[in-house]
Amino acid sequence: MTNYQKTALVTGMSRGIGKAICEKLVREGYFVYGTYNTGKQEAEKIKENLKSVEIFQVDFKNREQTLAILDKLKEFQFDAIINNAGMFEGENFKKFDFQIWYDTIEVNLNAPLLISIKLQNNINEYGSIVNVASSDGFQGSFASMSYSASKAALINLTKSLANNFGSKNIRVNAVAPGWINTGMATESSHEATKSTFM
């Protein structure tokens, strides 16, 4: 660890955007602590290939698991925290399953808030938090209301966190990618690319 000038936490690092972020940070000289849920083999392969990576399994739908992993992460200092882990599940409006809503909000909104609050004293001055939102956060949805609402709320939460972290010289920003080919992509999501903002 002492050979690395900077450290980062990347949630959801085993696939897609999280994997690309992890690889980019390592190339830039960071030591990366990454979390994964179901992508154990993928996470272990990234760790083996990149070397300067440590991985932790956590299901952010489970509040107890989230708090437990945050207790472990309090051992470290971070220059960057990237809240990338996300959940997307299609819905049936006429037979709406509120468990999808609860789980999506827990993963996409509550977890980034908990991470930011619980690790606020573990972020170095001039560090940064980046929340991975979505272009869906700017528009409504027919069959993924939970996802769209959670990302809209995450964009607003980012602004509030920036207000509170600013005095500590810590930046908080959100990025809002359109639909890209990640592990969460579905046939419906490919159709959504037609409405992606340019």
| Tens digit of each residue's pLDDT (9 = 90 or more) over 147-171 | 999 999 999 999 999 999 999 999 9
Amino acid found at 194: K
Least confident of 4-8, 73-77, 84-88: 4-8
Residue 197 clears pLDDT 80, i.e. is over it: no
The structural domains of the chain, ordered by start, are 6-195 (3.40.50.720)
The reported pLDDT for the residue numbered 5 is 83
82 has pLDDT over 80: yes
Residues 6 or more apart whose CB falls under 8 angstroms from that of 140 comprise 148
Q: Taking residues 135-148, what's their average pLDDT? A: 94
Q: Which of 30, 33, 36, 147 is catalytic?
A: 147
Q: Is 147 an annotated catalytic residue?
A: yes
Distance in angstroms between the alpha carbons of the first and the last residue of the chain? 40
Q: Tell whether the model's pLDDT for residue 65 goes beyond 60.
A: yes
CA dihedral sign of residues 17, 12, 82, 109: positive
Which residues, at least 6 apart from 46, have a Cβ–Cβ distance to it below 8 Å? 13, 14, 19, 22, 23, 34, 53, 55
pLDDT category at 1 given cuts 50, 70, 90 is: very low
DSSP state of 183: T
